[in-house]
Amino acid sequence: MRKFAIGAATALAATGLVVPSANAAPATPDLAKLVTAKDIRRHLENLQTIADYNGGNRSAGQAGFTVSTKYVVSQLKKAGYKPTVQNFDFDYFQERSPASFGQTAPGKVDYKLDTDFTTYQYSGAGDVTAVAAAVDTPAPNADGDAGCQTGDFASFPKGGIALIQRGGCDFATKAANAKTAGAVAVVIYQKPTVADGPVGGTLGGPVAIPAVGPTYKVGSELVRLANAGGLKLHIKTDTLNEKRTASNVIAETRYGSSDNVVVVGAHLDSVDAGPGVNDNGSGTSTILTIAQKVGKLGKKGLKNKIRFAWWGAEEEGLLGSEHYVTSLSAAQKAKIALNLNFDMTASPNGVRGVYNGSDPTAPHGSAAIQKVINDYYGKRKLPTVPSDFNGRSDYGPFLEAGIPAGGIDTGAEGLKSAEEAKLFGGKAGQPYDVCYHAKCDRITNINWGLLDTNADGVAFAVQSFAKSTLPVNGEALRTGRSYAKPAPTAPLYRGSHLVR
């Protein structure tokens, strides 16, 4: 232990690194050095095994998720934590077998699943053949707001299938209006102002009738046939809608002020399609390893409490983190200094994205989190790029509650730019993660280099904020200097243009 501390201090001096705790004597260990890629890899392998033996996924409401929560709980207990499991109910949806969608009159046409159409999340189950009628068809090449008002269905034939163009309001509103008007199924087809392809979306909650989303090409052709008279469609969906329970696993350090808590979160669930080893075994395993080592910072290094959270049902719409934040009282919320979120830290063609806390809409303090992480990588001469807060991960409910947030994200389905390929290597024009939400998001999908260096940044940020959150929320220690001097950072961007 002592030997390690000396070793760590020497290594720090050699690289010119200064952690905020470097002022303290004797030196506290460097958490980034305690957290090894080997430890993280072991968790990833275990999550892969859990998925392999439980239907190939770790999706909320399914066995692989339940076993994943038990794994995290067990690992935490072994490390001396008293984890809590916060349960919540959610609308579980599953497509039990592939849907079919076709024209039975005037022609006989079978549309191709995934190419010509998809099933909406929360579609009802059914097997119907009925006359189809177009609802409030917009002008050509316009989005319009078909089916958004109940009046749009004034002449809709009860017992028919509603043909509605996407646009103007939620899919849920269109489907609910169609159901109310007596439709036995609803077809919400792609709008013409986006690249054509089937519409995949969510109805937000269970709908009693089948709902499918074809391409604009298919949808507009069906509208033409319906208006000519005599269009009949066949739709079969085999879906399951029921309430199920998911959970968040939460555990906090013994030391540290409970009045100034740092919430470090990662979602534990995967999608249905695969084991979710990058999304989000990577974040899960990184913060689990950090939780297992953070105690080594001791009372001196843990001025603020670190509360680790593994969120459930992120993939169903940030349900776990939303449940957690909205269940807090105003007083409890006020005691959260910040949220660090880690969702996909090892994308195979990834970048080192640091959440863009400088976004003017982000709660004040978020930019300071971004700077702490960027400064760390700046000193290691490792590149970072800003990653937009797009509302697609569990920082969302924290930002909405006015709590500063930050974290690292290596990218999902987006395409790597030429500038990013120059900075990070990899392939320009290709997705950051080709296996995003797919069966191949296995252990073979992990970018070990990014996983490792990102874990260092996560560890550094956790260690910094365990010591002090002064730059984020103005909380200073009662005695002594709370924070190291900020490092001057050369801007990487001018506007949206990469300058170095």
- Residue 269 contacts Zn ion per CB under 5 A: no
316 makes contact with ligand DTR (CB under 6 A):
no
Q: Which range of residues in 54-62, 183-191, 291-299, 335-343 is near Zn ion by CB under 5 A?
A: 335-343
Characterize the bridge pairing of strands 185-189 and 353-355: unpaired
The span of 8-16, 53-61, 341-349, 422-430 binding Zn ion (CB under 5 A) equals 341-349
286 binds Zn ion (CB under 5 A): no
Angle between helices 448-467 and 283-293 (to 10 degrees): 50
List the structure tokens of 12. 């720090």
DSSP one-letter code for 181: T
Closest to ligand DTR by CB, 76 vs 385, is: 385
Is residue 393 a contact residue for ligand DTR (CB under 6 A)? Answer: yes
Residue nearest to ligand DTR (CB): 412
The DSSP 8-state label assigned to residue 124 in this structure reads P
- Percent composition of the chain: helix, strand, coil (DSSP 3-state, to 5): 35, 25, 40
Query: Roughly how many angstroms between the first and final C-alpha of the chain, as a whole number?
Result: 40
Residue 152 touches which of ligand DTR, Zn ion, none (Cβ within 5-8 Å per kind): none
Count of residues that interact with Zn ion, criterion CB under 5 A: 3
Q: In one letter, which amino acid is 124?
A: G
Cβ distance to ligand DTR smaller for residue 33 or 392: 392
Q: Which residues pair with 49 in a beta bridge?
A: none
Instruction: Give CA–CA dist 305/159, Å, rounded.
Output: 59
Q: Does 349 contact ligand DTR by CB under 6 A?
A: no
Q: Name which position in 409, 420, 441, 456 contacts ligand DTR (CB under 6 A).
A: 409
Does residue number 394 form part of the binding site for Zn ion (CB under 5 A)? no
Q: Does residue 343 touch ligand DTR according to CB under 6 A?
A: yes
Distance CA 71, CA 43 (A): 9
Does residue 227 bind ligand DTR (CB under 6 A)?
A: no
Sign of CA dihedral 7, 10, 12, 14: negative
Name the minimum Å distance from CB 141 to ligand DTR: 28
- Respond yes or no on whether the N-terminal peptide bond of residue 26 is cis (omega within 30° of 0): yes
Return the active site residues. 314
Using CB under 6 A, which of 30, 136, 272, 279 touches ligand DTR? 279
How many angstroms separate the CA atoms of 266 and 251, rounded? 13
Q: Which residues contribute to the site for ligand DTR (CB under 6 A)?
A: 279, 314-315, 343-344, 390, 392-393, 409, 411-412, 414
Q: Which residues contribute to the site for Zn ion (CB under 5 A)?
A: 279-280, 343
